[in-house]
Chains A and B, each alone.
Chain A
Amino acid sequence: MSEYWNDVFGGAKSLVVGLSITAREFFKPVVTEQYPWFVPEMTENFRGHIELVGNEKTGKPKCIVCGMCQRSCPSGCISLAGKKPEGEKKKALTKYHLDFTTCSLCGTCIESCNFGAIQFSKDYNLASTRKEDYIFDLLKRLEEQG
């Protein structure tokens, strides 16, 4: 019987405590960020999709087309090509495509690169209804940035 009364009065008390807590929360300020109106800045270490790094002076990609990133990628989402321009010793990049649909943002490609030629971008506002929008032409992106 004492358990019964305990349930009735203890229970009623716990319900009132619950109500008082939510009532206090009701008058506290909002904690959410209003996303489309307020776009948060990504931290320094944020891993967006990869992008090419340009040479500071020339703006040309630092990439020497060794293909390490392509080989290290677990999902095979990088495809690149390069050829030797006339009269030069090194290869120059002609194509660097990232298939973002299969990329898992692990960063293995960046670690495999010995020349610092790729880095994480800070883009995260990525939305589209078409698959083709996610085959990024990173060479074009670098030119647009430069």
Chain B
Amino acid sequence: MTVPIQCRHDETFVLNLGPQHPATHGVLRVKLTMDGEYIVKAEPVLGYIHRMHEKMAEDGNFAQFMPNTARMDYLHALAYNHGYCLAVERAAGIEVPERAEYIRVITVEMNRLTSHILWWAAFLLDLGGFSPLLYAFDDREHLLDLLERVTGSRLTYCYFRFGGVYNDIDDEFITGTHAFIKRLRSRMPRLYHDLVTGNIILQKRLKGIGLLTEEQCRRFGCTGPVARGSGINYDVRKNEPYSVYPELDFDVPVYTEGDSMARYMVRMDEMEQSMRIIEQALDKLPDGPIKAKVPKILKPAAGDYWASVETARGDLGMRLVCDGGKNPYRLKLRSPTFCNLSSFAEVAEGMILADALAYMGSLDLVIPEIDR
């Protein structure tokens, strides 16, 4: 319900949203020119948590960049692990054992679940609902416990290795994961959908608000749930399959409305799909080694390599340029949130502040990933 407004420029004021603001989830700053409650112009200001990750990659050898990958998108760290491993494995021509591939898919999807659950919680917090946050954290805690058992850490995982993974999963992990999926499926309809999705206040705040058209999506390069909420059926797992995703049966939820509710529903449906993927992968899990034999210091042949994976926020691209040395020559990251955020300035124009923040929440921003 964006109302076209005629504003008189002598009556506008500038509102500095952030870098410290409860709704920006980090250090994003948005310079808003406001006419009362309406936003006349929005200008995201980035760079407050720029840490030169791309430069740091050039500084050390290939393995030494591994811990950095987890620190960009801290909510879906394993997808970044995966993307970087894929790029380096393509460069060095490393074959990954099948069991390792399955473990990767299982853990990445579990991490996607934690990311979506946390997004849901934080989004509700943006909308002023506090209790869902803690119900979501209750679920997320179980997932983190499971992931901690295999990866050794809870948030910034450094679990994948070139040619495999760091630890094997055990039976306790498998039974625990099955139990968790059962638990989440039993809680989903009540605590997630009855309490929140069906709530009239939430429906009124999300339906028809924050319209992002398909054309805008393509222009800004939006990917992930944001694009799928606008009717673009694009998922790297299906369109450019990697790892063992082609062997697993899952759907890509697509909604055509393009409003905040559509993006919300895409993520809610994706949680169910992730659970399906995990279940199938656990059933198909083959025996075998979890790590290929890889020299400690890699020296891939000179060349230009690309790997892209689907993170919880969209298409993550890693462009790795090698010059034959033991350090990457250049590592360029194409982070999904950066493109998703760039649509904010155009979409937020003419919105009222509360709706714009709801729109921002529905983009699922992770600021360190934008700034890198």
Contacts and interface: CB of A to CB of B under 8 A. Distances in A.
- Looking at chain B's contact residues, is the secondary structure mostly helix, strand, loop, or mixed? helix
B110 interface: no
Contacts of A73: 64
Contacts of B145: 43
A11 B153 CA distance: 43
B199 A104 contact: no
B184 to A, nearest CB: 15
A106 B194 contact: no
Given A45-B150, A104-B158, A107-B158, A17 B64 contact: no
Nearest to B59: A74
Contact of A10 (B138, B156, B200, B296): B200
A43 B149 CA distance: 6
B200 A14 contact: yes
Interface stretch (B6-14, B32-40, B66-74, B342-350): B66-74
Given A104-B71, A106-B67, A108-B66, A17 B194 contact: yes
Given A47-B152, A106-B158, A112 B199 contact: no
Nearest to A17: B194
Interface string B76-94: 0000000000000000000
Interface in A67-83: 72-74
Contacts of A14: 198-200, 203
A27 to B, nearest CB: 14
A115 interface: no
A120 B191 CA distance: 38
A7 interface: yes
Interface residues of B, number: 33
A18 interface: yes
Contacts of B194: 17-18, 21
Nearest to A10: B200
Interface string B41-77: 0000000000000000000100111111001000000
Interface in A96-128: 104-108, 111-112, 120
Contacts of B190: 21
B213 interface: no
A14 to B, nearest CB: 5
A2 to B, nearest CB: 16
Contacts of B201: 15
Interface string A42-57: 0111110000000000
Contacts, number: 73
B209 to A, nearest CB: 16
B67 A15 contact: no
B138 A31 contact: yes
A105 B159 CA distance: 11
B258 to A, nearest CB: 21
Contact of B63 (A15, A72, A104, A105): A72
Contact of A107 (B135, B152, B198): B152
Contact of A74 (B68, B200, B296): B68
A22 interface: yes
Interface string A20-60: 01100100000100000000000111110000000000000
B280 interface: no
Contact of B149 (A11, A15, A45, A105): A45
B107 to A, nearest CB: 13
Interface in B137-176: 138, 145, 148-153, 156, 158, 161, 166-167
B5 interface: no
A5 to B, nearest CB: 13
B16 interface: no
B131 interface: yes
B195 interface: yes
Contacts of B67: 74, 104-106, 108
A74 B152 contact: no
B148 A45 contact: yes
A15 to B, nearest CB: 6
B81 to A, nearest CB: 11
B143 to A, nearest CB: 14
Contacts of A105: 67, 153, 158
Given A43-B152, A120-B152, 8 more contacts: A14-B199, A21-B194, A45-B167, A74-B60, A74-B64, A74-B67, A104-B158, A106-B67
Q: Which 5 A-B pairs have the closest CB atoms?
A: A11-B200, A106-B67, A74-B64, A47-B152, A106-B158
6 contacts: A18-B199, A31-B138, A45-B152, A46-B152, A73-B64, A105-B158
